[in-house]
Structure 1
Amino acid sequence: MNVLILGSGGREHAFAYSISKSSLLSQLFVAPGNAGTAQIATNVALGVTDFPAIKEFVLENNVQMVVVGPEAPLVEGIYDYFQEDAALKDVNVIGPSKQAAMLEGSKEFAKEFMERNEVPTAAYKSFTATSLKEGMGFIDSLKPPFVLKADGLAGGKGVLIISDAQEAKESLEEMLVGGKFGAASNKVVIEEFLDGIEMSVFVLTDGDSYKILPTAKDYKRIGEGDTGLNTGGMGAVSPVPFADDVLMQKIEQKVVIPTVEGFKKENLVYKGFVFIGLMIVDQEPLVIEYNVRMGDPETESVLPRISSDLLSHLNAFATTSLDQENLVID
């Protein structure tokens, strides 16, 4: 089988490394790739959102599977682009539809999905420039610290956690009126702060059944002792030391199952990875965010722990037979 991985980070190198070990693999391409992927696959000079160029390459090289690393192509609708093209519709694209990708593309959409499907999360409200005054009033109604999230994609950097109410109001104005995060902060979600410990759960789903992948914990705050602004993530560990069987059972029952069932109920076409960012508060899981792909850097610590054939698991998406795959975790 010929496989194309889209992306250029450590995440994509981890995918390439895992997939390269599969007996099902014929040729492996990574677009645009990096120095690491060049050693185990063929790098291709393609932009991840240049769908016509990707189409041409896929058809010329008889690519049967496209593994989408970053969020931008998913939010822009690469899955739908392939499905709607007669020449491409049989290619197995690993990633959700454009509508389902809104779970990452819009914080508000994700929050409303959680509410409808009774997935536990923090209390919130969303605001735009026209409701700036109400946003400032909402800040006054919450206890510090205050969590401000740009609604759109901001490369993992669009979340501010601020202890001072006045500073939070100024930041809200900078986001909504001053365009602090560009178009991503045309709308801002303000949330109650959850005081707990963070972890990430990764789920593989073919739209019908699911498999829970190894857990991970990444480190975002730039300063020593978890201070300062968020980065996109500077390193990760797997497994998460405190994620025991009791907690994992709660996560599956209260978060994973309602999420996957929610996809079906709401007709969201989802064949790919679900990244669930959690805050564990008093041994209870609450969802901070969904991402519609694997995380970078978490993938680098998660995929090496899967000792079964990742390509075989992904190949099962084409026939919606993931439930027949045996996922083995080391």
Structure 2
Amino acid sequence: MRVLIIGSGGREDAFAWKFQKEDKVSHIMICPGHKGMKRFDKVELWESSLLGDYSSLAQKAVEKEIDLVVCGPEAPLTQGLAKFFEDESIPFFGPSESAALLEGSKIFSKEFMREFEIPTAGFQVFDRYEDAVAGLEAWPVSSGIVIKADGLAGGKGVVVTTDREVAQKTLFDFMKNPEVSIHSDRILFEHILPGEEVSAFALCNGEEFFFLGMACDHKRVFDYDEGPNTGGMGCYRDPLWPDADLKEKIIQKVLIPTLKGMKERGHPFKGILFMGLMINSMNEPFVIEYNVRFGDPEAQTLLPLIKGELAVALHQLSTQAKIETPLTLSEETSVHVVMTSGGYPSITKDQPMSLNHKIEIPLLTHEDQPLLFLAGVNRNEDGQYINTGGRVLGVTAVSEGLETARKMAYKGIEMIHFKDSHYRTDIALNRRGGLKSDQ
């Protein structure tokens, strides 16, 4: 099987690692990827310019006889990438442009949840800055408010606060400030959901699904959940939580109604459905958000636990009604810790990140424990790795117990060095949940 992966981050690096180990996969094409992915001998990198021309990308896939396309990031999915491959009869595991609105528009997803009675926080929508300012004046901010930009923002378009000045600045930044990289003409206010956060993942083909598993992400940039939201600073999977009862509630109250609702709307969902959930004190799930692809760093946390031929299973879900290749998730625990560039997450022009520094990486291969996944990296003229992005790399450890896995992951992280690097020291320190009272 010849597989094409779209993307260049740690998530795509983890997919390459997984497919590298699978006997049925002979070639792994990655567009654009990064030079660190060449450590896998099945990998061939495609030029990044193809991402600006989806028609040419699909034509190259035809020429290279690609059997399966897996898209990592959300932006190409919301731009309708699936149709270009489906028009060429190339199996594509991912949603259509219309189905990708579950992630592409937070307002679309909230209104969808309200229509199909899927549990979520109460909310208000504003289409004009002046109306949002008036809405904020009437909001009991001291009790908590979640402010969300409507479109894609790489995990940085959400602010949770009880401070009115912070809320006012956030509103201005998201809707009016030209110095901020996030801009939204529409804005969403939500009530804070108290509880513990978990991410749940299902492989879907429109009607049928395979419930893959759950993981707990740490979004804030600093220890003890301080600082702004990021794309994810670390993650862990504990097989003891969530329990079987909660898993069944998630399936019955969230997953099945979501698939049913999307089908009723004429946009059946095919791909990886990522349900960001808050679990309250009554052990009930509430949806914080949907994503329409694997999470990052959740992919680096869960993919090492998958037993079975994932590429074959995704091909089956892309081309037929049911999955026939057995997939299981190991009962082991995994912990993933992310290392970032200094200054991450920067959303303003006057706060640049500290980039292009040489990275000292120990001689780890893709067979070693802990596992090293590369993301925002490149190689300089001397062949040395340098940091070129916000989230630079991550280390995953798998073990029977959470504390052992955690120690192994941090032992790996402490062996890696580059100027101004940063990582959280408390990933998986709390046994249950990722963040408390965070959207």
Task: Measure, in 2, the Cα distance between the counterparts of 1:235 and 1:270.
Answer: 28
Which residue in the other structure is 2:175 paired with?
176
Q: 2: distance between equivalents of 1:161 and 1:318?
A: 37
**Partner of 1:122 in structure 2?**
121
Distance 2:308 2:142 in 1: 46
Deviation at 1:272, TM superposition (A): 0.7
Q: Distance in 2 between matches of 1:257 and 1:247?
A: 14
**Residue deviations 1:187-236 (CA, integer Å, cap 9, x gap):** 11110001111110011001120011121111111122111111110111
Code of the residue aligned with 2:63 in structure 1: it is E
Q: TM-score, normalised by structure 1?
A: 0.93
The 5-angstrom pairing of residues 232-311 of structure 1 reads 232-239=231-238, 241-282=240-281, 283-311=283-311
Instruction: Show the counterpart of 1:76.
Output: 79
State the match for 2:17 in structure 1: 17
Partner of 2:382: none
Q: Secondary structure at the match of 1:256?
A: helix
Q: Which amino acid aligns with 1:50?
A: D
Aligned-partner Cα distance in 2 for 1:203–1:129: 37
Q: Does structure 2 retain, via aligned residues, the 8 Å contact 1:49–1:76?
A: no
CA deviation profile, 1:7-51 (whole Å, cap 9, x unmatched): 011100111121223332231111111244212211222343531
The number of residue pairs the alignment matches comes to: 325
Deviation per CA, 1:218-258: give whole Å up to 9, x if none.
11111221111111101111136430111111111111111
Residue in structure 2 matching 1:51, options 49, 54, 75? 54
Q: Is the 8 A contact 1:202 1:274 kept in 2?
A: yes
Alignment of 1:1-330 (within 5 A): 1-40=1-40, 41-47=43-49, 48-83=51-86, 85=87, 88=88, 90-127=89-126, 128-140=128-140, 144-179=143-178, 182=181, 184-239=183-238, 241-282=240-281, 283-330=283-330
Q: Distance in 1 between matches of 2:67 and 2:279?
A: 40
Letter of the 1:291 counterpart: N
Task: Determine which structure has the larger helix proportion and give its number.
Answer: 1
Q: Which amino acid aligns with 1:45?
A: E
Higher alpha-carbon deviation: 272-281 or 43-52: 43-52
Secondary structure of 2:214 counterpart: coil
What is the Cα deviation at residue 259 of structure 1? 1.1
Q: CA deviation at 1:138?
A: 4.4
How far apart are the structure 2 equivalents of 1:218 and 1:124?
23
* 3-state SS of 2:47 partner: coil
Residues 50-109 of structure 1: per-residue CA shift (max 9 Å, x gap):
3133123212211121110000110110012333x3xx1x10111100011111110000
Give the % identical residues: 39
Residues 180/105 of structure 1: CA separation in 2 closer, same or farther (3 Å cut):
farther
How many angstroms apart in 2 are the aligned matches of 1:241 and 1:163? 33
CA contact (8 A) 2:121 2:286 kept: yes
What TM-score do the two structures reach when normalised by structure 2? 0.70
CA contact (8 A) 1:216 1:302 kept: yes
Is the 8 Å Cα contact of residues 207 and 268 (structure 2) preserved in structure 1? no
Extract unaligned runs of 5+ from structure 2. Answer: 331-439
CA drift of 1:175 comes to 1.9
| Distance (whole Å) between structure 2 residues aligned to residue 291 and residue 189 of structure 1 | 17
Stretch of structure 1 that moved more, 199-208 or 170-179:
170-179
- Aligned-CA RMSD value: 1.8
Distance 1:323 1:106 in 2: 29
Residues in 1 aligned to 2:178 and 2:268: alpha-carbon distance in whole angstroms: 32
Task: Structure 1: state its 5+ residue gaps.
Answer: none
The Cα shift of 1:143 comes to 5.3
Q: SS of the residue aligned with 1:99? A: coil
CA distance in 2, matches of 1:279, 1:181: 29
Residues 211 and 50 of structure 1, relative CA distance in 2, 3 Å threshold: same
Q: Deviations over 1:136-169 (max 9, x none)?
A: 24424x6522110110111111100111124313
Partners of 1:222 and 1:230 within 8 A in 2: yes
Alpha-carbon spacing, 1:316–1:230, altered in 2? closer, same or farther (3 Å): same
CA contact (8 A) 1:143 1:192 kept: no
Question: Which shifted more, 278-287 or 241-250?
Answer: 241-250
